[in-house]
Structure 1
Amino acid sequence: MAQFLIVTDDVNDWRPYLPSDNMVTVHDYLEMGAFSDKSAMQVINLCRSYDYLSTGYYCSLMAEARGHRVIPRVMTINDLSQDRFFSLPQVGLDKLSDTLNEITMKLYFGYCDNPSLDKLARKIFERFTVPVLQVRLLKMAGKWQVDAIEPAAFQDLTEPEQDLFAKYLEVFSQKVWRLPKPSKRYRYEIAMLVDEHEKMPPSDKAALKLFTKSANRIGMDLVQISSHDLARLSEFDGLFIRSTTNISNFTYRFAKAAEQLGLVVMDDPESIMKCTNKVFLTELLNKHKVPVPKSLIFKASDKNWAENVISTIGLPIVLKVPDGAFSLGVVKVNDRETLLEQAAIIFEHSALILAQAFMPTDYDWRIGVLNRQPIYACRYFMSRGHWQIYQHHQSGRVSSGDFDCIDLKMVPQNIVDAAVKASNLIGAGLYGVDLKEIDGKAYVIEVNDNPSIDHGVEDLFLGDLVYDRVMTEFLRRIQLRGM
């Protein structure tokens, strides 16, 4: 667990607060070589000014050069001076009095003293991770907008504000750096992001335990975190996302924040962006001549789009929502009337639709790829009486077909080659490539950045070796980062 350090301009800055051995002046911190031997250190930069080339700016810059994790980061400081387009979430603002047209508030480590603005404060802190922020909101045309976000000097806080600062510093530091020591010490710690309420998570509880055991065997600890723990990321060396990813949900925010902190991340934000949008993925695969089902991307304004889709693809046709997952947002249409009906529904949510040829098979291949190498192979059979692996019933129940997991050496080489080629276009992370095999030819259906790894399914052939390979890759990347 990392040690934390509070950096201020002057020792007198800390006079209103309890004495702390964790406080140093910025003069001492900036000494050449100071604290450079302590790589596992968290720094709270409380300098009065973060202006470009000020001592406060250099404090964050030096911290990053030493491998310390610091708030605010230099990138955040630069964003505060340049980012004028912060989209304000309206969470909680509708509960404010209709007579209000302006709000000025201070945020202390993402907390404020107004319960109705707690969620908003947390969102702002996730975007601008600064110890104390002064925020001004204006109500314009019935909608609240950010007028100003800027750092506030903790040295200028009033006595009531000092109480709030001390209170939330304690909350923040306890949450991030003063967790109980584990019974066994590990050299590295990885956060494993999960969603306990998710109905179809990428890994079941048994698999999560096996990932943890594998990490422990090679000297790492795997700590489960949830969507509310973004502020804890700086205590870890890596982030392993085991919750279904999407650009619009918390998983992308976590991946982006972890990447900015310098953590080893799976799935990295670029992979999430590329894989979760089927339109982007289809365009990418076509450009690089990776075999895919006959496809067409169309929009509502296209002239005679229905006739063009039918003549190009042929019936039946599969329509896909760009960011659908687990067969959600995927419909099969057998005639022109159904095509018009289903497309109209999808156009309510997406400007583009992906149409693909319907290619019926008894099963789909899934090739797991890690760091550009195949690591497992599964076959997923279609749900009984259905044309997809997953069948979503109106009752909310989800059923699926059978599966088997086999030796990669027994998989047709063209299936493996197509999977590796497709995943290499995305990156060097952990991917699951879905393919169909028709008349001896391989067709890539999609590349998943967050592939399912369940106990008794994807590990059925290799057993613990699947988990060992993933955790060993984390260890390799963490060690390379520290060289």
Structure 2
Amino acid sequence: MSWVILTGRQNDLDHAATPHKIITNRDYLSHPALFRGQRPKVINLSNSYAYQSRGYYASLLASSRGHRVIPTVETMIDLSERKLYEHALPELELALNKCRKDLDGEFPAKVCFFFGIGPGRAWDRFARLLFDWFRAPALEVHIKDNSEWAAIRKIGFHPLARMDCTEKRRFTHCLETYTGREWRESKSRTPARYTFATLVDPAEELPPSQISSLRHWARIAEKMGVEVEPITRKDLARLANYDALFIRETTSISNHTYRFARRAQQEGMPVIDDPLSMIRCTNKVYLDELLAANKVPVPPTVIIAGTSDLEHAADTLSFPLVLKIPDSSFSRGVKKCADFKELKALATEWLEDSDLLIAQKFIPTTFDWRIGVLGGQPLFAVHYLMAKKHWQIVNHRVNGKPEEGGFKSFTLRQAPAEVVETAVRAARCIGDGLYGVDLKETRDGIFVIEVNDNPNLDHGCEDSGEKDEVWVRLTQWFLDRLERQGR
């Protein structure tokens, strides 16, 4: 059972209008053993959320029972007085007034929003922001409009008892939209104990996992009592209602992926990638020194803090050499310099935006080893082949679509033991999460090129060697940490 709907009275909501379980808040409060062993999502549609009312206690006890609930007690308190939510009004009013050009005439005096959905598409931006601030099933916003600027007079709950027939029809439609499952293809055979959020950007050109691969994971996780649900950058306010977070967007310290990781950590949720791993892996300067200090073999490297360091880099590494921006990813911000003229021109350009650069000895190979490491243990092994007529696995053509090389999968037993052991040593320097370690195997030895905190993981590629065991172990990593927490 995934969703439970609480109402003040048995007939407040037509049972035929939704496939989800509907019970009164009184029954929910009186029977603490209900849904034992399950982790339902509770939608509290009580007609009153006043302090110490049944509606208030229903959300309070849902939290104590480990059930995810909307609205939370915090939301109830926030909306109990204007002074408690007035800090949100400037941002909300700005979004509200941006809706004006898409509306005919003035704003209505009152507008109702259900699960972050307004009465029309013109309200979409404001409705989403309102739901981010106050995650509640039904809200009413009172507006004062002087034709130049619309101000919010009041935000409050809009209970079922006050809805007319038209509003109830719209409410049930929005309820269906909100509780819909994008990735679930059939009714769960195993009652879900946990729900994992997976942060994705459907428009990303080179995502670390394709949506089809995450659907594959969802089917495997379902058999282990886990629901996998997609979320996007707009869902930060919803994050606390999940049990764990798996970030499947390209991570960056300067964008929303880091905020999601931090919020998950603050909520005590197991998260891949965790904030510290992101900090450590996304900066190649730190990574080079960390690996070298732990005697993990890396290519000869020179840190460039200004153009005065270029001659030292050229003398130490010779040409061609590779120049890198510290926080580059997916082969972006990584260039090969054939001579000193190229090095100076590129370094001068990049030093405009970065105080430090990395120069490394160029080690030509036809492939890079990628060893996946999860929880300090090897997870998968694969060759990433260089893009056609290019020295990197991804060729970022100017004004063109990135061209990727192919791959060749191996079982962990087939991969050279020294390659796997070196990768595990490198990953353990970072942390206990999921990492992709890139290595070059040469006559002079094995070298770790970098450790990625956001490694590719796709069905039919990285999992080709170890098959579904990759996804089972990924799911179990989260479960082990949840169960240690007693969640």
Q: 1:337 to 1:181 in 2, by over 3 A?
A: closer
Among candidates 172, 175, 194, match of residue 173 of structure 1: 175
Preserved CA contact (<8 Å) 1:133 1:149: no
Which sections of structure 1, spanning at least 5 residues, go unmatched? 299-304
Q: Deviations over 1:434-453 (max 9, x none)?
A: 23456325334132324233
Quote the offset at 1:115 in angstroms. Answer: 3.0
The TM-score normalised by the length of structure 2 is 0.70
Report the equivalent of 1:121.
127
Distance 1:125 1:280 in 2: 40
Quote the offset at 1:184 in angstroms. Answer: 5.8
What are the within-5 Å matches in structure 2 for residues 44-63 of structure 1?
44-45=43-44, 48-49=48-49, 58-63=57-62
Report the equivalent of 2:448.
443
After TM superposition, the structure 1 stretch with the greater mean CA deviation from structure 2, 284-293 or 445-454, is 284-293
Matched, 1:329 2:336: no
Report the equivalent of 1:302.
none
Quote the offset at 1:428 in angstroms. Answer: 3.1
Preserved CA contact (<8 Å) 1:28 1:34: no
Distance 1:357 1:241 in 2: 30
Matched, 1:361 2:367: no
Quote the offset at 1:389 in angstroms. Answer: 1.4
Q: Deviations over 1:382-425 (max 9, x none)?
A: 33443321101225233233543345456565644443344345
Alignment length (residue pairs)? 455
Quote the offset at 1:354 in angstroms. Answer: 4.1
Two-structure CA RMSD over aligned residues (Å): 5.2
Quote the offset at 1:193 in angstroms. Answer: 6.0
SS at match of 1:185: coil
Report the equivalent of 1:41.
40
Q: 1:290 to 1:390 in 2, by over 3 A?
A: farther
Preserved CA contact (<8 Å) 1:211 1:467: yes
Quote the offset at 1:340 in angstroms. Answer: 1.5
SS at match of 1:125: helix
Matched, 1:112 2:146: no
What are the within-5 Å matches in structure 2 for residues 13-412 of structure 1?
17-18=12-13, 22-25=22-25, 29-31=28-30, 33=32, 35=34, 37=36, 39-45=38-44, 48-49=48-49, 58-73=57-72, 84=87, 88=91, 94=98, 96=100, 107-113=113-119, 115-133=121-139, 152-155=156-159, 164=167, 166-167=168-169, 169-177=171-179, 182=186, 185-188=189-192, 197-203=203-209, 207=213, 211=217, 214-215=220-221, 218-220=223-225, 225=230, 227=232, 230=235, 240-246=246-252, 267-268=272-273, 270=275, 273-274=278-279, 277-278=282-283, 282=287, 285=290, 289=294, 291=296, 294=301, 296=303, 305-308=306-309, 311=312, 316-320=321-325, 322=327, 324-333=328-337, 334-344=342-352, 347=353, 354-362=357-365, 363-409=367-413
Distance 1:321 1:150 in 2: 48
Amino acid at match of 1:112: G
SS at match of 1:383: coil
Amino acid at match of 1:175: T
SS at match of 1:369: strand
Distance 1:157 1:249 in 2: 42
Q: Deviations over 1:31-51 (max 9, x none)?
A: 583646373333234564576
After TM superposition, the structure 1 stretch with the greater mean CA deviation from structure 2, 240-249 or 384-393, is 240-249
Which sections of structure 2, spanning at least 5 residues, go unmatched? 16-20
Quote the offset at 1:369 in angstroms. Answer: 1.0
Preserved CA contact (<8 Å) 1:43 1:68: yes
Q: Deviations over 1:294-352 (max 9, x none)?
A: 36485xxxxxx222465468674513262x431123334532123223444xx2xxx65
Quote the offset at 1:471 in angstroms. Answer: 4.1
Quote the offset at 1:242 in angstroms. Answer: 4.7
Q: 1:137 to 1:107 in 2, by over 3 A?
A: same
Distance 2:486 2:153 in 1: 34
SS at match of 1:60: helix
Preserved CA contact (<8 Å) 2:5 2:45: no
Q: 1:191 to 1:321 in 2, by over 3 A?
A: same
Q: Identity rate of aligned residues, in percent?
A: 30
Distance 2:50 2:311 in 1: 59
Quote the offset at 1:70 in angstroms. Answer: 0.6
SS at match of 1:446: strand
Q: 1:124 to 1:283 in 2, by over 3 A?
A: farther
Preserved CA contact (<8 Å) 2:201 2:249: yes
Matched, 1:461 2:462: no
What are the within-5 Å matches in structure 2 for residues 418-437 of structure 1?
418-436=422-440
Amino acid at match of 2:125: K
Distance 1:395 1:402 in 2: 22
SS at match of 1:419: helix
Preserved CA contact (<8 Å) 1:93 1:117: no
Amino acid at match of 1:376: F
Distance 2:154 2:290 in 1: 43
